[in-house]
Amino acid sequence: MRVLITGGAGFIGSHLVDHLRARGDEVVVLDSFVPTYDLRRKEENVRASGLSEGAVGPARLVRGDLRDRALLDRLLPHVDAVVHLAALAGVRDSLDDPAAYVDVNIVGTQTLLDAMHAAGLRRLVFASSSSVYGARPDGDTFTEDDPADRPVSPYAATKRAGELLCHAAHAAWGLDVSCLRFFTVYGPRQRPAMAIARFTSLVLAGETLPLFGDGSSLRDYTFVGDAVRGIACALDRPQGFAVINLGCGSPIRLDDLVAAIGRAADRRVRVEHLPEQPGDVPRTHADISRAGALLDWRPQVALDEGLAAYLAWVRARDGV
């Protein structure tokens, strides 16, 4: 299969490149290298994935913007499917510049859908997010048919809007779309602003960790290898239109996460509790039965194992 991966120079996208290449697929990455974090990290990602900028080849990199319709029109005739990961990601930053999130995540997604329709291309996997569920009452697991109309950050609202636009494209034009709701993906190459990356750097530097809230917030963490295997399963099993959770199904308390990072790093951990942040939800908890039923997908990497892989990558990269 020839697959266009938007956002393929980023964290999840670069792992997806490796996964699809390893099974013999050809990939074209479209990424604008937006400076949401150190661009050297994205350059390292594309080098590690063996992408080249020539016009031909099984693993191509195209530097360009998702919203550039003429560019999409040139690229799409050469692929069989699209995985749409390009986005401004992250809840907290979206509160600083919501209009930019709307532009990239909503206008960008619609531009892609329009171009796919024009090119007669039908198969799309869209990166959605657990944040669309909003702040939910204690005890509930998050199932895909639950209402998702009370987002608490602009980022979450743009991801839900993306799902709705994908559904409209499915209904109007017959596009085959799987919207995958990722639950806090972590692992090597992860975005530096994500909690596990920030906490790990501080723990290794012997510094105090700022914890938002009292440590009781819950997150469902998903190792990046599991996430990209889920994307590949979705590419292989078109569903018409489906929304599917990809998570681990067993949430971890924030203070337990911090303790696990301390164990993995073999360091003492000191924390300072700070007030909750706007935009953050108190808990996420995926019901992953649909992913099992439709994609034959289950997470395989437990948190301690995933953290050990992350720590090994950090130590190899930074020599700490």
Ligand X SMILES: NC(=O)c1ccc[n+]([C@@H]2O[C@H](COP(=O)([O-])OP(=O)(O)OC[C@H]3O[C@@H](n4cnc5c(N)ncnc54)[C@H](O)[C@@H]3O)[C@@H](O)[C@H]2O)c1
Q: Which stretch binds ligand X (CB under 6 A): 30-38, 143-151, 206-214, 265-273?
A: 30-38
Cα separations in angstroms, 314 against 35, 201, 208: 21, 9, 19
31 is an interface residue for ligand X by CB under 6 A? yes
Looking at residues 167 to 186 of the shown chain, list those that interact with ligand X (rule: CB under 6 A). Answer: 182, 184-185
Catalytic one among 101, 155, 186, 310? 155
34 is an interface residue for ligand X by CB under 6 A? yes
Strand blocks (E) in 155-311 = 176-182, 185-186, 209-212, 218-219, 222-223, 241-246, 252-253, 271-274
- Is there a catalytic annotation at residue 155? yes
Of positions 3, 85, 254, 307, contacts ligand X by CB under 6 A: 85
86 is an interface residue for ligand X by CB under 6 A? yes
Q: Which stretch binds ligand X (CB under 6 A): 26-34, 233-241, 273-281, 286-294?
A: 26-34
Backbone angles phi, psi at 67, to 5 degrees: -85, 5
- The residue whose Cβ lies closest to ligand X is 10
Of positions 191, 229, 283, 290, contacts ligand X by CB under 6 A: 191
Q: Which stretch binds ligand X (CB under 6 A): 1-9, 232-240, 257-265, 309-317?
A: 1-9
Of positions 17, 19, 32, 160, contacts ligand X by CB under 6 A: 32
CA distance 224 to 42: 16
Of positions 104, 234, 261, 288, contacts ligand X by CB under 6 A: 104
**Least Å distance between CB 270 and ligand X?**
26
Name the CA dihedral angle for 267, 193, 195, 43, rounded to a multiple of 10 degrees. Answer: -70
Of positions 49, 94, 109, 129, contacts ligand X by CB under 6 A: 129
Q: Identify the three-state secondary structure at position 61.
A: strand
Measured at the CA of 193, the angle between CA 190 and CA 196, to 5 degrees, comes to 60
9 is an interface residue for ligand X by CB under 6 A? yes
299 is an interface residue for ligand X by CB under 6 A? no
Q: Which of 48, 229, 73 is nearest to 61 (CA)?
A: 48
Q: Which of 180, 139, 175 is nearest to 295 (CA)?
A: 180
127 is an interface residue for ligand X by CB under 6 A? yes
Q: Which of 208, 193, 202 is nearest to 279 (CA)?
A: 193
DSSP 172-216: HH--EEEEEEE--EESTT--TTSHHHHHHHHHHTTPPEEEESSS-
Of positions 20, 25, 42, 286, contacts ligand X by CB under 6 A: 42
Q: Which stretch binds ligand X (CB under 6 A): 5-13, 111-119, 249-257, 302-310?
A: 5-13
* Residues tagged active-site: 155
Interface ranges with ligand X (CB under 6 A): 6-7, 9-13, 30-34, 36, 42, 65-67, 85-89, 104, 108, 127, 129, 182, 184-185, 191
